[in-house]
Every structure is written in C-alpha cells, then in structure tokens.
C-alpha cells in the first residue's frame, strides 16, 4: 500500500457520511494527489499541504448534514422489530414446550392441542410487557 493509499484510507476511516459522499470526497482527494504529481510534487508534499487525515476528515464532516430518521420511521422500525421479537418468542415458546410434550406426552392429539393452546394464548404477554414498555418509552423519547 502506497503512502497515498494509506492516507486516503485513514481519511475514509474518519468519515461517517453516506457511502456516496465519502467516495466523492476520497475521489476529490485522489484528484489533489494526481494534480500534485502532474506538478512534480511528491505524495508527501501533497499530504503536508492537505494536513493530518483526522483534520481533513473533520473539516469535511463539518460541511455534511446528517439527516436522522424521523418519528414515524423510527416508530415503524420499532414495530417491525417488536413483531419479529414476538414471532421469535412465540416460536421459541413452542419449541421449549413442544420438546417435553413430544418426549413425555408422545404425539397424541390432546398434547399437541394443549401445546397449540399454550403457544397462541396470551399467557406469555406478561413477560412481553416487561420488554415492550421500556422499548416503547425509548422510541417515544428517542
């Protein structure tokens, strides 16, 4: 890896913008190196002129507007996450109950109906509220 490549990688490491913006800025810096090379400057001279990689990245980041997700986007993401959590909990609850039913209760229709009843009733909602209420508060206050 050349000095130029390591410098550009170091600058890129300190930039937290979108990928397209980061690539555009790195390409602009690469153009500075090419112009310096055309003028007879070494990579070290161009790096000295540009400054420390952290400072260059910080200067670039001051000009970037980072748009955070709004309330509705975060709420939708929260609801999707909660739906996946509930689905996973119901699925795991069924597995945890299903294995003992299969081992000790056999495959009788009564044991499978009891399993289905336990899985799909609201018995586990009490444990879900312990998770849901703090997460809902975080989304609303977020």
From CA 116, how far away is CA 93, in angstroms rounded? 10
Residue 13 in this model has a pLDDT that exceeds 80: yes
**Residues 53, 84 within the same domain:** no
Taking the C-alpha atoms of residue 89 and residue 47, their distance in angstroms, rounded to an integer, is 54
Please report the pLDDT score of residue 27 as a whole number: 92
Final residue before a domain boundary, out of 41, 62, 83: 62
Euclidean distance between CA atoms 112 and 101, whole angstroms: 8
Show the domain range for 112.
71-141
Same domain, 32 and 76: no
pLDDT in tens, 95-110: 666 666 566 655 566 6
CA atoms of 63 and 142, how far apart (whole Å): 25
Query: Residue 71 CA to chain centroid, in angstroms?
Result: 18
Q: Is the pLDDT of residue 125 over 60?
A: no
Q: What is the pLDDT of residues 22-45, one digit of tens each?
A: 899 899 999 988 998 898 888 888
Q: Let me know whether 76 and 134 are in one domain.
A: yes
Tens-digit pLDDT profile for residues 68-96: 788 899 999 898 888 888 877 777 766 66
Average pLDDT, the chain: 78
């Amino acid at each position: 890896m050349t000095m130029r490549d390591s410098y550009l990688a170091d600058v890129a490491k300190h930039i937290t913008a979108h990928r397209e913006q980061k690539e555009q800025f790195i390409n602009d810096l690469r153009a500075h190196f090419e112009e310096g090379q055309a003028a007879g400057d070494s990579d070290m001279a161009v790096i000295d002129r540009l400054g420390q990689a952290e400072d260059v990245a910080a200067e670039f980041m001051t000009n970037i507007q980072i748009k955070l997700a709004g309330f509705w986007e975060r709420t939708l993401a929260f609801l999707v996450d909660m739906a996946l959590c509930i689905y996973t909990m119901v699925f795991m609850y069924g597995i945890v109950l299903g294995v003992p039913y299969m081992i000790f209760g056999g495959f009788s229709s009564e044991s499978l109906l009891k399993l289905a009843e336990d899985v799909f009733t609201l018995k586990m909602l009490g444990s879900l509220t312990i998770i849901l209420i703090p997460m809902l508060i975080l989304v609303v206050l977020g």
